């Protein structure tokens, strides 16, 4: 029973550690804190892949949150911080990647495939109508 209590204590501490780390960060202004929250929610964790930096508890996310904090306090703009992260980790860290030839299919692929699917559907329906009309 004592081992179970230690296990629960360990698990509880492990889940609260990332939130405690953010509470310890001090900002020179409330604007910097707002910028920080916006950036860590907009940037993706390179390790977790489907979590932003704010939600991730991985080691790299903790380090990147600290890096974002330091860069904000140094007076870097949001765009400079995003550019730094993209230069280091690629466009993958952005939840909204830029429009470019490399991301063309990402942005427009679903619409292209939807259009092709509708064309195939229309072709099949027309072919079935013709076949029914000929055999009647």
- The verdict on 104 and 93 lying in the same domain is no
- Show the domain range for 113: 99-136
Q: Considering Cα of 79, then 101, then 41, then 55, what sign does the dihedral take?
A: negative
Q: Which residues contact 77 (CB under 8 A, 6 or more apart)?
A: none
- The verdict on 60 and 127 lying in the same domain is no
- The verdict on 73 and 84 lying in the same domain is yes
pLDDT by residue for the chain (136 residues), tens only, comes to: 777 676 666 666 655 555 444 457 888 888 999 999 999 999 998 888 788 898 888 899 999 999 999 999 999 999 999 999 999 988 888 877 777 887 788 789 999 999 999 999 999 999 999 888 765 4
- The verdict on 123 and 93 lying in the same domain is no
pTM: 0.60
Q: What is the CATH number of the domain that holds 17?
A: 1.10.8.640
- The verdict on 18 and 75 lying in the same domain is yes
- The verdict on 135 and 84 lying in the same domain is no
């Amino acid at each position: 029973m004592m081992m179970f209590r230690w296990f629960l204590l360990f698990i509880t501490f492990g889940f609260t550690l990332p939130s405690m780390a953010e509470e310890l960060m001090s900002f020179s202004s409330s604007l910097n804190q707002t910028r920080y929250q916006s950036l860590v929610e907009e940037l993706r964790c390179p390790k977790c892949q489907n979590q932003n930096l704010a939600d991730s508890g991985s080691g790299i996310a903790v380090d990147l949150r600290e890096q974002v904090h330091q860069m904000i306090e140094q007076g870097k703009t949001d765009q400079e911080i995003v550019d730094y992260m993209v230069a280091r980790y690629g466009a993958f860290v952005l939840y909204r990647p830029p429009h470019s030839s490399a991301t063309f299919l990402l942005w427009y692929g679903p619409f292209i495939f939807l259009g092709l699917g509708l064309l195939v559907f229309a072709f099949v329906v027309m072919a079935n109508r013709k076949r029914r009309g000929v055999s009647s």
